Structure 1
Amino acid sequence: MTSQQCCPFCAIVRGEDVVVREVARNDKVVAFFPTEPAVLGHCMVIPRRHVEEFSALTSDEVSEVMTSAQSVAMSLREVLHPDGINIIQSNGEAATQSVPHVHVHIVPRWDDDSFGDIWPAKTDFSDEEKDRTLAKLRATTLLPHSSATPEDRRQHLAFTQNVISRMAQSSSNTKSWLLPVVTAAYGYSFTKSSVALAVLGIVATVVFALLDVGYLRTERKYRNLYERIAAGDPDVAPYSLNYQCSGETRKTRFLEHCSVIKGWAIWPFYGALLVSGFVALGMAFWH
């Protein structure tokens, strides 16, 4: 037998469940009481077509199911005057879905009912975890009817270009801040044979080089995002500044940093300063 033939909700749709307490139906959905309601008035709305997950519904079916759930909720308000109403839609066993046919619960609630809480009292997710999840969702979520207009795209490109400009300016400032530090440190080390100042200049060069690599990698990522926006990439949500791509790992990020280090904006400049520093260190040890 097929899943549709075994499905108890499909039997209700076909009119084969003689004991079901049916509230209403039309050519798209059926509303009825569950066999064991959580509270009096507990209703369910199902699509007539056998669909196991909410994400598999068509846009028309989503509209019919949720509009019908709203109509049932309005009737519950009028007839039973509950203190509140829960609208619940579950997918998968982990989410307590017991019948593999999309259904929406409309549950009237009272302050003293026996339904109980449906949310944990407290969670302890860190800001980093929440921000990381937010970034992933922003990169993949595009709501219906939210396609960008030409003006939206121009503004999106402008925002992205502003970030690119800031990263480029930060890279330039990093080099500008470093030069007087290493000039003073190496100059004093050469004249006074100071090992400490030679080491200070080398450490400063490495630290500023790592900062610069971070700025330039970010600039590259935003340039790539700019190109995707300009090309009308549908995977880029309107006004999203999230440059991360799916499949990005620590290894890929490490390789991207290595690629930046090999670029002409990094190794000639910082390499020359490091060579000068080791020469100054060697001379300080020699003397």
Structure 2
Amino acid sequence: MNNDCPFCQIGLDPEQQIIFENKTCYFIQKPSEQEILEGSGLVIPKTHTQTVFELSAEQWRDSQDLLKKAKDYLDHFHSPDGYSVGWNTGEVGGQSIPHAHLHVIPRYKDEPYAGKGIRYWIKQPSNSRQLSKEMRSQ
């Protein structure tokens, strides 16, 4: 357990809701995030595991188990048209909390970014490493 990690101390955030859990992982949701990301949640290991690359075989199995349960739950209560599912790893990879967490984001046909998946933003020409090098050299 890491005393500075909000996912290691899930019970200290009164807004965080544990929807499902198994031996090694939780599926959680935060109501304040539901207005924009309706139905979104996270699968997180119960023990402090910094990145997805450090998950044990048991944590992988339990993550998959909760991902499937979360999908059934979200299909029933939100009826999404698709999903974006992914791990951000490392600060440059977009990981803001250094505790492995799998984003489970229901997607809907009527949302402004429908059809734009995880890669959409990072494959924009403005994200080119070559462009970045050129800008630094000026």
Whole-Å Cα distance in 2 between the matches of residues 89 and 101 of structure 1? 11
Query: What is the TM-score when the length of structure 2 is the normalising length?
Result: 0.75
Match of 1:102 among 100, 103, 126: 100
Kept in 1: contact 2:18–2:29 (CA 8 A): yes
Whole-Å Cα distance in 1 between the matches of residues 120 and 15 of structure 2? 36
Return closer, same or farther for 1:43/1:115 CA change in 2, 3 Å cut-off.
farther
Whole-Å Cα distance in 2 between the matches of residues 112 and 74 of structure 1? 21
What does residue range 32-51 of structure 1 map to in structure 2 within 5 Å? 32-34=28-30, 35-37=32-34, 38-51=36-49
1:54 corresponds to: 52
Q: Displacement, 1:10?
A: 0.7
Q: Displacement, 1:115?
A: 5.1
Worse-matched range after superposition: 43-52 or 76-85: 76-85
Match of 1:21 among 17, 20, 23: 17
Q: Displacement, 1:112?
A: 1.9
Whole-Å Cα distance in 2 between the matches of residues 94 and 114 of structure 1? 26
> Which whole-Å deviations, capped at 9, do the CAs of 1:48-96 have from their partners, x for residues lacking one?
0100111111111111112211210121112211111111111112221
Point out the structure with the larger strand share.
Answer: 2
Higher RCO by CA contacts (8 Å cutoff, separation 6 or greater): 2
* Aligned residue type for 1:23: I
Return closer, same or farther for 1:32/1:123 CA change in 2, 3 Å cut-off.
closer
Counterpart check, 1:112 vs 2:110 = yes
Whole-Å Cα distance in 1 between the matches of residues 83 and 120 of structure 2? 18
Give structure 1 regions of 4+ aligned residues with deviation exceeding 4 angstroms.
121-124
Whole-Å Cα distance in 2 between the matches of residues 26 and 64 of structure 1? 7
Return closer, same or farther for 1:123/1:6 CA change in 2, 3 Å cut-off.
closer
Kept in 2: contact 1:39–1:115 (CA 8 A): no
What secondary structure sits across from 2:27 in the alignment?
strand
What is the percentage of aligned positions where both structures have the same residue? 27
Whole-Å Cα distance in 2 between the matches of residues 31 and 45 of structure 1? 4
Q: Indicate the RMSD between aligned Cα atoms, in angstroms.
A: 2.3
Whole-Å Cα distance in 1 between the matches of residues 22 and 60 of structure 2? 15
Contiguous gaps of at least 5 residues in structure 2: 126-138
Query: Could you say which structure has the larger radius of gyration?
Result: 1
Whole-Å Cα distance in 1 between the matches of residues 67 and 22 of structure 2? 13
What does residue range 82-231 of structure 1 map to in structure 2 within 5 Å? 82-114=80-112, 117=116, 118-120=118-120
* Aligned residue type for 1:29: C
* Aligned residue type for 2:27: A
Point out the structure with the larger helix share.
Answer: 1
Kept in 1: contact 2:24–2:58 (CA 8 A): no
Q: Across the two proteins, how many residue pairs are aligned to each other?
A: 120
1:262 corresponds to: none
Return closer, same or farther for 1:110/1:9 CA change in 2, 3 Å cut-off.
same
Whole-Å Cα distance in 1 between the matches of residues 112 and 39 of structure 2? 14
Contiguous gaps of at least 5 residues in structure 1: 125-287
Kept in 1: contact 2:43–2:103 (CA 8 A): yes
Whole-Å Cα distance in 2 between the matches of residues 98 and 115 of structure 1? 22
